[in-house]
Amino acid sequence: MKRIVRGSILHFVADPATASAGAAWRYWDDGALIVEDGKVARVTDHMALQPADMAAAAIDDYTGKVIMPGFVDAHIHYAQVDVIASYGTQLLDWLERYTFPAERKFADPAHAAAIAEFFLDELLRNGTTTAAVFPTVHKASVDAFFAAAQKRKLRMLAGKVMMDRNCPDFVRDDVESAEADNRELIARWHNKDRLTYTLTPRFAPTSTPAQLALTAQLMREFPDLHMQTHLAENRDEIRWVRELFPDAAGYYDVYAKIGLTGARSLFAHCVHMSDAEFALMAAAGDSIAFCPTSNLFVGSGLFDLKRARAAGVRVGMGTDVGGGTSYSMLRTLAEAYKVLQLNGINLDPMRAFHLATLGGADALGVAEKIGNFAAGKEADFVVLDLAATPVLARRTSIAGTLEERLFALMTLGDDRSVFATHILGEPAYRRDAA
């Protein structure tokens, strides 16, 4: 199966923050992405295509649109589809009042399956093709999610949430059941098609040291499993961790001491971190999910991308629905820009779109498979309409440079700007489908 996809094509080969000028991205104003058997064969100028290239190929003509690698959401909770836009609380109250009751419902496989379908539809409508996803404590929630993702041929990371204390009975597990459930789910799902099993202790306050130690033991036993959790999001949470783990030097040290850090470990938020902690994260090879809409909505604080990147920590962008307020990576980049404004940093659009694509893939440890259009990578991509609304169309029409157009897109765009989303080359969503 061969496809030729025509349009303006942009992808990243390095981080614009560190690469020399112009070396971080490639852009073809009238380009052709050639896909064979779901993988990128190459990208070229459309004019340079030969008759042999066109032979027996399906053609997608997206002239006038911008084609980028699919967006990577580094942190999102599929079980919080119905939690989004919950009023009036910060993290710890928000969990008790809205989140745990919503997650309780995922003990029911039919509910989990229905929400998984809604959730994946919504990701594709927003151009997101890979995500690091939190289900719930229930095994059924993981089965439902992975089954829905596998059916759609998506590259996804997820795993059973572990929490064995400081939460209601109806979302609580214990060390023994967590071990048995994880082992069963790893055998069923890990490395099946494009799925990556990801150990998911919710956060330090809801896991006993014994459960965190179990997680570390599983990471040692299965060296290609990933791990995701939350870290240093909210000040009350941090105080609580200090009480619960008096022997740790700080919140990060709780995870580090017990062996949960490393190149396959992903920490959401990291809003309140010292330079020394960022340096330890970089030395360990950890990644961070920066979740600006959530950090603003739940009132957590302002993530400092400059300090994190200066220390050398990998960072991806997370929507963190339902603490976050949008599934859209474009909305998320817009809020990231504003958060960083308040920290005295300008997030230039090239850096922003790198974070949303190759940077996110790198943070999730899947950059060998996705994140740009290097030959041989899986051809997941998004087709963006820079004239999707009257305001965006007008602003784009007077923009002088590619950077200016992309900045308008990330500032003014949302799901309306996603014209199409393709998975392994094949169309999976089209905005104007009848």
Shortest Cβ contact with ligand GUN: which residue? 323
265, β-bridge pairs: 227
Q: Which amino acid is at 424?
A: L
Q: Does 129 bind ligand GUN (CB under 6 A)?
A: no
Spatial separation of the C-alpha atoms in residues 99 and 92, rounded to whole Å: 10
Among 155, 160, 230, 264, binds ligand GUN (CB under 6 A): 230
Write out the binding residues for ligand GUN, residues 59-88 only, by CB under 6 A. Answer: 77
Read off the DSSP letter of residue 427.
E
The pair of three-digit structure tokens given for residue 231, joined into one six-digit string: 């870290």
Among 70, 323, 360, 371, binds ligand GUN (CB under 6 A): 323
Total interface residues for ligand GUN by CB under 6 A = 11
The helix/strand/coil state of 170 is: helix
Write out the binding residues for Zn ion, residues 230-269 only, by CB under 5 A. Answer: 268
Question: Given CA atoms 422, 426, 432, 433 in this order, what sign does their dihedral have?
Answer: negative
Q: Does 272 bind ligand GUN (CB under 6 A)?
A: no
Binding track, positions 94-123, relative to ligand GUN; x by CB under 6 A: -x---x------------------------
Write out the binding residues for ligand GUN, residues 165-224 only, by CB under 6 A. Answer: 202-203
The pair of three-digit structure tokens given for residue 213, joined into one six-digit string: 């130690």
Cβ proximity to ligand GUN: between 70 and 322 the closer is: 322
Q: Does 320 bind ligand GUN (CB under 6 A)?
A: yes
Residue 203 binds which of Zn ion, ligand GUN, none (CB < 5-8 A, kind-dependent): ligand GUN
Q: Does 128 bind ligand GUN (CB under 6 A)?
A: no
The helix/strand/coil state of 2 is: strand
Q: Nearest-5° angle of CA 212, CA 258, CA 94?
A: 45
Among 233, 304, 378, 414, binds ligand GUN (CB under 6 A): 233
The pair of three-digit structure tokens given for residue 372, joined into one six-digit string: 């740009």
Q: Does 231 bind ligand GUN (CB under 6 A)?
A: no
Binding track, positions 313-342, relative to Zn ion; x by CB under 5 A: -------x----------------------
Query: What is the DSSP track for 211-279?
Result: HHHHHHHHHHHSTT-EEEEEES--HHHHHHHHHH-TTSSSHHHHHHHHT--STTEEEEE--S--HHHHH
- For 233, phi then psi, to 5°, come to -95, -40
Interface contacts to Zn ion, rule CB under 5 A: 268, 320
Interface contacts to ligand GUN, rule CB under 6 A: 77, 91, 95, 99, 202-203, 230, 233, 294, 320, 323
